[in-house]
């Protein structure tokens, strides 16, 4: 969905938002950038354990194209690139907060059930 026919006709707002957030690491990138304000590529990679360089770049590029992320290149050697959230990225992260709260509650529910079983 990320590289294919995006920006297709959306059925509702959820569709349009999910299209932009769907991607294994996107919500985490959003969270990381919202927390630190500005992060270099390597910092993001180390901050998201398990992410591959390919996917990190691919997601960052898509989020830049979607107007969520700002990419600032400093022409130095070794190169330095800093990523930060745009206004839309910040508002998206805020819009995700209630979903995060729900997910946290779900985690606690699962943990409670787990402790009953064991």
Among 2, 17, 55, 57, binds a copy of itself (CB under 8 A): 17
Residue 89 parent element (H or E): helix 87-95
Taking CA atoms, 7 is separated from 28, 53, 78, 103, 104, in Å, by: 22, 25, 36, 27, 30
Q: Which is nearer to DNA, 39 or 92 (by Cβ)?
A: 39
Per-residue string for binding with a copy of itself, 72-111, x by CB under 8 A? ----------------x--xx-xxxxxxxxxxxxxx--x-
Q: Burial of 40 by CB count in 10 Å (0-12 exposed, 13-18 middle, 19+ buried)?
A: middle
Site string (32-71) toward DNA, x via CB under 7 A: --------xxx-------xxxxxx-x-x-----------x
């Amino acid at each position: 969905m990320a590289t294919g026919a995006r920006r297709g006709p959306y059925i509702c707002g959820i569709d349009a938002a999910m299209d932009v957030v769907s991607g294994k690491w996107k919500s985490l990138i959003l969270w990381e950038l919202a927390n630190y304000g500005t992060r270099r590529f390597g910092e993001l990679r180390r901050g998201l354990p398990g992410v591959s360089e390919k996917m990190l770049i691919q997601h960052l590029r898509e989020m830049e194209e979607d107007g969520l992320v700002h990419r600032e290149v400093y022409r130095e050697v070794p190169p330095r690139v800093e990523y930060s959230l745009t206004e839309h990225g910040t508002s998206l992260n805020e819009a995700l907060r209630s979903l995060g709260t729900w997910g946290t509650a779900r985690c606690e529910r699962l943990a409670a059930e787990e402790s009953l079983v064991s």
